[in-house]
């Protein structure tokens, strides 16, 4: 095989992937398209900006890589990027990889103290950020000790990425690497503790793009992908960048907050064929669609991840838009979705079946695989999982065990073989000695037309026994009264096992959530 190439055999399931010994993944995702005649095809539609062809993309990736090299970075140096969804994100990410540096996309919704932690923890050589995030990034740089050698904005006055690229050449030698060389990091979202840098290898994006993007979702060159989840999430990175690039398709990038109206405008204007969202957004979009009609007819399929998609949202979306939402579970450590529904094989309310190339085990308290139909800890194995956490041998040892990744989730494989999410291990409740899934109660409450969102946490009763407590956001705040409480209690008692109804109901204006939109139940406890 030539240097930096990969061969794929699709006659097998999973696809059989063979890498050149000297393999830099930037060649597969960027340069390959020039050889395959796509130089004039649009790779990126930045909303409000000029489209970027595959030819422009390859050239600008080279310029960014040359610019970073000219700064004086050394092989393996980390480049933290707080960059909005834009063509610059692509240029910087791939330019760094092709030149032998390690990009670290960072959540742009965080605060200065989070950034300071990541700057110090990563020991990065450079921090490059969109001007929009200067208000949080610059105080972090000010406070950081040690400071990175280089830090500047993507665009604007003074030293910038744009300036660096303008002074750089169009040709760049590809840095040597192997499929197992560290390629990029992602900080895990840290619902419970400090963020951990998950180290991903050159092969990881190939695996997710091939086994999930192509084989599971069936993305083709003719698709246009639009991800409401941002590129700095592992979920968005696949949806909005690596999956379309892998097959020579196109991505629509929206730089702002993904509110329902903005996502609808983007869909109407750019006519994407695949939309990637999260359950909370689908819920908010459905609420908006009750008042206005929007043309979503370009969509052939939608995807949901990040938290379990309630069957009720699946059903209402299907009724309203005539498209299905494929729920799948992924994680930062696995890089993308490893259990998923398919267009031709789905079951609402479940995460679906294994993605080709991944294995799962559901483990009981005794460390052994549980009997079919019983719940336990979900462990998964695949070729895209992070090799380790940066500077965190204890977390690495407890999460990555003998090649298996402990997801931290409780799952059941149902009688039809679909994987059913039962909650985070730490969120599961024992009620009357029986496991009780907070998610199941929430899904029941959300079914009710008066309920917008709901969260269930464990609360101790007079006898110090844990019982479920509900925090509910109503569609209309005027319903916050005892009548509604009674209605919702009856609704739960009718639809759930007896012990599962919420013993307390609180109406709240909003639920505490992580930047990724997951409910922070620990804050409610
Ligand atoms: C939960 C789900 C039920 C689950 C992610 C797709 O969410 C992603 O990564 P994170 O590291 O969180 C991982 C955890 O989130 N979760 C995710 N999806 C589902 N629970 N049903 C789902 N469909 O607790 C998991 O362990 O933020 C999602 C692709 C890439 C990702 N990184």
Query: Model-level pTM?
Result: 0.88
Q: Is the pLDDT of residue 51 over 50?
A: yes
The 3-state secondary structure of 432-477, one letter per residue? CCEEECHHHHHHHHHHCCCEEEEEEEEEECCCCCEEEEEEEEECCH
Q: Which positions ≥6 away from 420 have C-beta within 8 Å? A: 349, 350, 351, 411, 412, 413, 414
d(CA 307, ligand 1 centre) in Å:
6
Is the pLDDT confidence value at 495 over 70? yes
What residue ranges in 341-383 does DSSP mark as E strands? 353-354, 359-363, 376-381
- What's the CA angle centered on 208, arms 203 and 209, to 5 degrees? 95
Select from 324, 331, 372, 330 the least CA-distant residue to 348: 324
The residue to mutate among 231, 305, 377, 378, having the most atoms of ligand 1 within 8 angstroms of its beta carbon, is 305
Q: How high is the pLDDT of residue 294? A: 97
Beta bridge partners of 45: 252
- Measured from the Cα of 234, ligand 1's closest atom is 32
For ligand 1, atom 8, name the residue with the nearest CA: 331
Which ligand 1 atom sits nearest the alpha carbon of residue 421? 3
300-326: pLDDT as tens digits:
999 999 888 889 889 999 999 999 999
> For residue 461, what are the CA distances in angstroms to 1, 106, 440, 477, 524?
66, 41, 21, 28, 16
Residues with a CB atom less than 6 Å from ligand 1? 188-189, 234-235, 305-308, 327-332, 336-337, 351, 407-409, 421, 424, 516
pLDDT in tens, 341-352: 999 999 999 999
User: 110-146: per-residue pLDDT in tens?
Assistant: 888 889 999 999 999 999 999 999 999 999 999 999 9
Q: How far is CA 404 from CA 166, 341, 380, 411, 441, in A?
A: 45, 22, 6, 16, 30
Q: What is the DSSP string of 164-204?
A: HHHTS-S--PPPP--TTSEEEEEE---SSSS--EEEEETTH
CA distance 505 to 64: 54
Mean pLDDT to the nearest integer, 361-383: 95
Other CB atoms closer than 10 Å to residue 497's CB: what's the count? 13
The residue whose CA is least distant from atom 31 of ligand 1 is 331
Q: How far apart are CA 206 and CA 16, in angstroms?
A: 11
Q: Which domains does the chain have, with CATH numbers?
A: 22-177 (3.40.50.12780), 224-424 (3.40.50.12780), 430-524 (3.30.300.30)
């Amino acid at each position: 095989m030539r240097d930096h190439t990969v061969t794929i055999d699709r006659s097998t399931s999973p696809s059989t992937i063979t890498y050149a010994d000297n393999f830099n993944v930037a060649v597969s995702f960027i340069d390959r398209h020039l050889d395959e005649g796509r130089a004039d095809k649009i790779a990126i539609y930045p909303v409000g900006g000029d489209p970027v062809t595959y030819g422009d993309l390859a050239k600008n990736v080279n310029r960014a890589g040359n610019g970073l090299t000219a700064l004086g970075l050394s092989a393996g140096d980390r480049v933290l990027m707080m960059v909005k969804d834009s063509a610059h994100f692509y240029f910087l990410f791939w330019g760094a990889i092709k030149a032998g540096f390690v990009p670290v996309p960072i959540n742009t919704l965080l605060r200065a103290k989070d950034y300071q932690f990541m700057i110090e923890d990563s020991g990065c050589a450079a921090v490059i950020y969109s001007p929009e995030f200067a208000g949080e990034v610059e105080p972090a740089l000010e406070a950081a000790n040690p400071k990175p050698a280089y830090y500047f904005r993507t665009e604007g006055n003074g030293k910038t990425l744009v300036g660096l690229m303008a002074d750089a050449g169009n040709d760049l030698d590809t840095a040597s690497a192997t499929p197992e060389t560290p390629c990029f990091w992602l900080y895990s979202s840290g619902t419970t503790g400090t963020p951990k840098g998950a180290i991903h290898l050159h092969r990881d994006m190939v695996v997710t793009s091939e086994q999930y993007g192509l084989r599971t979702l069936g993305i083709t060159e003719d698709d246009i992908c639009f991800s409401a989840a941002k590129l700095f999430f592992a979920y968005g990175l696949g949806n909005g960048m690596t999956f379309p690039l892998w097959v020579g398709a196109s991505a629509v990038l929206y730089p702002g907050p993904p509110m329902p109206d903005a996502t609808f405008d983007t869909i109407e204007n750019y006519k994407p064929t695949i939309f990637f969202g999260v359950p909370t957004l689908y819920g908010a979009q459905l609420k908006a669609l009750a008042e206005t009609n929007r043309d979503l007819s370009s969509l052939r399929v939608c995807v949901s991840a990040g938290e379990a998609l309630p069957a009720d949202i699946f059903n209402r979306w299907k009724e309203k838009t005539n498209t299905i939402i494929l729920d799948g579970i992924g994680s930062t450590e696995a890089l993308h979705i490893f259990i998923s529904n398919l267009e031709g094989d789905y079951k609402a309310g479940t995460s679906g079946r294994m993605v080709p190339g991944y294995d799962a085990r559901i483990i009981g308290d005794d460390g052994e695989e549980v009997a079919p139909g019983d719940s336990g800890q979900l462990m998964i194995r695949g070729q895209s999982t992070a090799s380790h956490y940066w500077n965190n041998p204890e977390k690495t040892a407890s999460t990555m065990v003998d090649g298996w990744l402990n997801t931290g989730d409780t799952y059941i494989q149902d009688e039809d073989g679909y994987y059913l999410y039962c909650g985070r291990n730490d969120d599961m409740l024992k009620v009357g000695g029986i496991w009780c899934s907070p998610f199941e109660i929430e899904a029941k409450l959300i079914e009710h037309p008066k309920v917008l969102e709901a969260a269930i946490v464990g609360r101790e009763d007079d006898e110090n026994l844990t019982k479920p407590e509900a925090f509910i956001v109503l569609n209309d705040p005027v319903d916050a009264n005892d009548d509604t409480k009674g209605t919702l209690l009856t609704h739960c008692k009718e639809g759930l096992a007896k012990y599962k109804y919420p013993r307390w109901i609180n109406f709240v204006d909003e639920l505490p959530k992580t930047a990724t939109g997951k409910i922070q139940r620990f804050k409610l406890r």
